[in-house]
A = this chain, B = another copy of it.
Amino acid sequence: MEIIISKEYFNKAITDVSKAISNKTAFPFFSGIKLVASTDRLTLIGRDSDIIIETIIPSTIKVIQVLNVYATGSVVISAKYLLEIAKKLPNDICIKVDEAQVATIQSEEIVIKVNGFDPSQYPSIPEIYETKHAEIQCSDLIEMVKQTTFAISKSNSKPVLTGVHMTFAENHLQCVATNSQRLALRELPIISNIHGSYIVPSTSLNHLAKLLSSDDRLLQIFLTGSYIVFQTKTITLYARLIEGIYPNVSSLFPKVWNTIITMNTNLLLKGIDRASIFSSEWKNNNVKLAIKKGEKLRISSTATEVGQIEETQNITTINGEKELTISFDGRYLIEALREIKEEEIKISFGGAMRPALIEPLGNSSYVHLISPVRTY
């Protein structure tokens, strides 16, 4: 293999694929990046046991020659060193690999030799069958990731809850994340002939959202064996599915609401954030909400021995019972409200001991269910 490549694109590609590489891999191959030089492109692959990221640098980008391939071939080189090399070399980079897998990397007066791994030992990439596939706007996917992944369980005791449950139907996608105390659900219209439900690790989805650039418009989704595959023109991310049965969440939504209010999203978010000053003393970051005479919402928290905070905010509209006192985990409220971009929200309460439903006013494609906490 022998190539000359523009530093800028090489550096970007190495940075992208190295996101898949964990520092504590037991399998030395997975600490490396595989470079494959074909006649018209350089393919780079980084992976660990749960994720594979592949990116392609074509010979020309916007009519500028960014890659010259003098000899095709492949090599696997330590990601740690490759990252530093790609960042610190000043200019176009020449890479030449000999039969002993020693890569000689040159730029101006600088000569680097790195011992590579034998690429034939590198595990193969799952094949993609294109019959079943879906298509989604990248911006929608990014929003969906932000609105769900925060709500997953951080504990590994129930592995299925560490993922986002993606349910594909004809031209429709539903994504759910929950840690049992709160649940985020986002619906999306997509172009799809996939039918089925898959649990996707939230870390892989977060990587995907970060990799998508403003240039990317459309994302293709495929399923292959144990992977779900997300593909743009330049990047392919394979996320290993989490095995197991996801809980049936539809039964969690109360059928009857006692009180439904609407309020300003951002003012409520700021109020909850302030009340959290004193809520950290509690295991559940208790923030107390109290509706008084159907006109005002009092937000308060107390840290014994230290202090207390309270404020009142206007309720825009109210339906149902006009008095209610309920406590939530302040962090959960903040995380849910932060991802709502609409100015007004609707909150539906089923009573002090039942979960409340938060949704943007006039848009039920994103809903958030949150259980109250006990205050004793």
Contact = CB atoms under 8 A, between A and B. Distances in A.
B277 A88 contact: yes
Nearest to A77: B307
Contact of A270 (B88, B115, B270, B310): B88
Interface string A66-90: 0000000000001001001100111
A306 to B, nearest CB: 6
Contact of A84 (B78, B277, B311): B277
A28 B14 CA distance: 50
B109 A307 contact: no
Contacts of A310: 110-111
A305 interface: yes
A353 to B, nearest CB: 28
B81 A277 contact: yes
Contacts of A311: 108-111
A274 interface: yes
B274 A88 contact: yes
A75 to B, nearest CB: 13
A248 B271 CA distance: 59
Contact of A306 (B78, B274, B307, B313): B78
A312 interface: yes
Interface residues of A, number: 29
A278 B84 CA distance: 10
A307 B273 contact: no
Interface in A110-136: 110-115
Contact of A89 (B109, B112, B113, B274): B274
Interface string A271-313: 0011001100000000000000000000000000111111111
A267 to B, nearest CB: 10
A27 to B, nearest CB: 18
A277 B85 contact: yes
A270 B88 CA distance: 8
A84 to B, nearest CB: 5
A114 B307 CA distance: 4
Contact of A313 (B78, B109, B113): B109
B307 A113 contact: yes
A164 to B, nearest CB: 31
B274 A307 contact: no
Contacts of A113: 307-309
Contacts of A115: 305-307
A273 B89 CA distance: 10
A309 B111 contact: yes
A109 B312 contact: yes
A110 B309 contact: yes
A176 B88 CA distance: 32
A108 B309 CA distance: 13
Contacts of A307: 81, 112-115
Contacts of A114: 306-307
Contacts of A88: 270, 273-274, 277
15 contacts: A81-B306, A84-B277, A89-B274, A90-B270, A108-B311, A110-B274, A110-B309, A110-B311, A111-B309, A111-B310, A112-B277, A112-B309, A113-B309, A115-B305, A115-B306
Q: State the 3 A-B residue pairs at the shortest beta-carbon distance, nearest first.
A: A114-B307, A110-B311, A112-B309
Given A81-B307, A109-B312, A115-B307, 16 more contacts: A78-B306, A81-B278, A81-B306, A84-B277, A85-B277, A88-B273, A88-B277, A90-B270, A109-B311, A110-B311, A112-B308, A113-B308, A113-B309, A114-B306, A115-B305, A115-B306
